[in-house]
Amino acid sequence: MFFSGQLDIGHLHVQLGIEGLQATIIPVMLLLLGILAITMPAHHVFYGIIALAVGLYAIVGVNLGGFLIGTVLCCVGGVLVAAWMTPQARANSKAQRAALAAGDSE
């Protein structure tokens, strides 16, 4: 997405301006969301949903979201971040499932 606002394709020249500013702000925001998801995993669902929203906005704001490659990568990353579980959360989930299975068998 960074470089899609600064391209010349044949006779097509991509202009910079407000759209060029978006081509800088959106990738920086996505990078910041990724760093925040790693450093503060308790809020990973929020960061993943915001990353999905920013990635979908990039289709309109940044030359089809980095010619759709950036948008696809952003949506995959946002889904992975939202679905990510810390090892402690995974252990708690397994314990809850085991407790439910033990309760059903009685």
Tokens 């394709």, residue? 9
Mean pLDDT across 49-60: 89
Whether 4 has a pLDDT exceeding 60, the answer reads: no
For residue 9, list its beta bridge partners. Answer: 12
Domain extents for the chain?
3-105
Mean pLDDT across 6-20: 64
Mean pLDDT across 33-45: 90
Widest CA span of the chain, in angstroms?
74
Please report which confidence band the pLDDT of residue 92 belongs to, taking 50, 70 and 90 as the band edges: confident
Tell me what the pLDDT averaged over the chain comes to. 80
Predicted local distance difference test score (pLDDT) of residue 76? 92
